[in-house]
Chains A and B, each alone.
Chain A
Amino acid sequence: MVFNWFHFGIILFLLAGIGFAVFPIIVALLFSPKAKGGAFAQPYECGMTPQGGAWSRIGITYYLYALLFLAFDVDVLYLFPAAVFYKDSIGFAAFWEVFIFVFVLVVAGFYFYRKGVFTWPRKIKM
């Protein structure tokens, strides 16, 4: 592993970003008032006392989207190295390879569409 100026830049910029964000918080800690007591730090629920906690089970209808995302995202990442080389490739062979890859993705998307993943309220046909 060679350490070059790019890595140095990334680390320096990340540290600078954290420093830039911490500075106003420290200023606020030094100069802000320090009030205490009452329902001061109660979670805000439009002025009412909260009914139950927030960390309860909620109906997540989004998990199928998350699964889909994972599949699509990894596929797209595979395409990046191909895309960089694509211009230098000779003939139409590269185009057909990309076409087959993307076509499988389209078919997958169409399958989920027909399954009813994208209709709300969700009715998935098994």
Chain B
Amino acid sequence: MMNILELIPAELIRILIGLVAILVFIALNALILVYVERKVAGFIQRRPGPYEVGPWGILQTLVDAVKLMGKQLFSPTGGDRLLFWAAPLLAFAPLPLLFLSIPVGKNLVAYDANLGLILILAFSGLNVLALCLAGWGSYNKWSLLGAVRSVSQAVAYEIPLLLTVLAVTLMTGTLQLSAIVESQGAWPWQWNWLVQPAGFVIFVICALAETNRAPFDLPEAESELTAGFHTEYSGMGFGLFFLAEYTAMVVVSSMCTILFLGGWKGPGPEILGVVWFFAKVYALVILMMWMRWTFPRVRFDQLLNISWRWLIPLSLFNLLYVALVVKI
């Protein structure tokens, strides 16, 4: 028995365990986050939020998921069936891959790739393609407008995002996520956000825009576009977009944690690293929810011009500032 176990390479076991853990995490995370979002919305608007199903409404999302799976799937007449159904799959498919090289704790990573940062940046771009296909395949004017908006929005906010990530790379000299975490200390004043506060703020704003969260949720602005790119999706088609959105929130939050907030580093023994990591990630997620229910939606030309007029020049100056700091 022992001989067979020794024949299996350690990397394979590591990747497989990582895969199972990540898939379980994605499912659980969506169930919890949807509930938390609705509770946060409720409390901010001075109403209880979901409270009928289970104690404090805790089983609400589970019931919703079952309901979504029981809904009939259909594609609109005149639309492109292939593109229409490829879109939700494409929106979800790259998400487990984004977690592949995210270090959750010391040595707690499925595969510690030396190009981890590029991997995440490259595959998160597939999301835009999915929204584009969804809008085009639906044969619906709302969907098409939503898709056009989402592409130009993602394109506008990709550049300041890349530039702030670049500034961090400039400081640490590596694209390996675990090495970026290692370069920061245990206490908050040893993290990167203090060296480049402008970069941190720009990254958070771009993260909101890239995940299509309010106040930048123009692609699915329900008061003007019905539901934007997912107007025509019923049941699980919509469910997959929803799942993708909530997982993407965690991905950008963990990227922000790793780049600017010290990753799994924190006061106390190293075994607490996982706790620190998830505490920081979920604090950022709660911040995103808080912003969603507090700020009004921006107008579309404002949305594009915030990025092109302010964020891109600011992130360029941030890059030069960091380059200077590294040399001094």
Q: Is there an interface contact between A54 and B97, defined as CB atoms closer than 8 Å?
A: no
B118 interface hit (Cβ, 8 Å): yes
Per-residue 0/1 for B142-177: is the Cβ within 8 Å of any A Cβ (1 yes, 0 no)? 111100100110011011001100100111111100
Closest to B302 in A: A120
Also in contact, A86 and B323, with CB within 8 A (given A44-B232, A46-B226, A54-B139): yes
User: When each residue 211-234 of chain B gets 1 if its CB lies under 8 Å from chain A and 0 otherwise, what string results?
Assistant: 000000000000000100001100
Consensus secondary structure, chain A interface: helix
Are B308 and A118 in contact, with the CB atoms below 8 A?
Answer: yes
- The answer, among B70, B144, B312, for a CB contact under 8 Å with A28, is B70
Q: Does B140 reach chain A (CB closer than 8 Å)?
A: yes
A2 interfacial contact with B, CB 8 Å:
no
B94, B111, B141: the one contacting A9 at CB < 8 Å is B111
Task: Mark out the residues of chain B between 306 and 328 whose CB falls within 8 Å of any chain A CB in the assembled complex.
Answer: 308-309, 312-313, 316, 319-320, 323-324, 326-327
In the docked arrangement, what's the CA distance between A45 and B140, Å?
8
Is residue A41 contacting chain B, with contact meaning CB distance below 8 A? Answer: yes
Asked whether A102 lies within 8 Å of B319 as measured between CB atoms, the reply is yes
A31 contacts partner chain B, Cβ-Cβ < 8 Å:
yes
Please name all residues of chain B whose beta carbon is closer than 8 Å to the beta carbon of A113 when the two chains form the complex: 309
Closest to B72 in A: A32
B159 contacts A14, CB within 8 Å?
Answer: no
Known interface pairs A44-B140, A54-B143, A73-B158; A65-B93 also in contact (CB < 8 Å)? no
**Interface footprint category on B:** 35 or more
A109 and B89 within 8 A (CB): no
The winner among B9, B68, B72, B305 for most chain A CB atoms within 10 A is: B72
Q: Which residue of A lies closest to B11 (CB)?
A: A5
Partner of B162, one of A28, A55, A73: A73
In this assembly, does B107 line the interface, its C-beta being within 8 Å of a C-beta of chain A? no
Contact with B along A5-30 (1 / 0, CB 8 A): 11011101110111011101101110
With a cutoff of 8 Å between Cβ atoms, the chain A residues found around residue B94 in the complex are: 14, 17
In the assembled complex, the CB of B150 is this many whole angstroms from the nearest CB of chain A, namely 11
Task: Please tell me if the beta carbons of A87 and B171 are within 8 angstroms of each other in the complex.
Answer: yes
Does A3 reach chain B (CB closer than 8 Å)?
no
Q: Main SS of the interface on chain B? A: helix
- Partner of A42 from the list B76, B175, B313 (CB cut-off 8 Å) is B76
- A18: chain B residues at CB < 8 Å are 89, 93
Q: Chain B nearest CB: distance from A110 CB in Å?
A: 8
Instruction: Name the residue on B nearest A40 (C-beta).
Output: B74
Please tell me if the beta carbons of A43 and B79 are within 8 angstroms of each other in the complex: yes
Q: Tell me the complex Cα distance, A8–B74, Å.
A: 35
| Bound: A84/B159 CA distance, A | 18
Which residue of B is nearest A10, CB measured?
B97
Q: Is the CB of A28 within 8 A of B15?
A: no
Contact of A43 with B326 at beta-carbon distance under 8 Å, contacts A5-B12, A14-B97 already known: no
Q: A5-B12, A16-B23, A42-B76 are in contact. Are A54 and B162 (CB under 8 A)?
A: no
A126 interfacial contact with B, CB 8 Å: no
Q: Find B140's partner among A35, A43, A60, A79 (CB 8 Å cutoff).
A: A43
Q: How many Å from the CB of B74 to the closest CB on chain A?
A: 5
Query: How does the 8 Å CB contact mask read for A85-121 relative to B, with 1 for contact and 0 for none?
Result: 1111000101100110010011001000100001010
Contact A13 B97 (CB under 8 A): yes
B144 touching A32 by the CB < 8 A rule?
no
Find residues 95-147 in chain B having any chain A CB closer than 8 Å to their own CB: 95-97, 100, 110-111, 113, 118-119, 136, 138-145
10 A-B residue pairings within 8 Å (CB atoms)? A14-B97, A17-B97, A27-B236, A41-B77, A42-B76, A43-B79, A43-B232, A58-B145, A76-B163, A113-B309
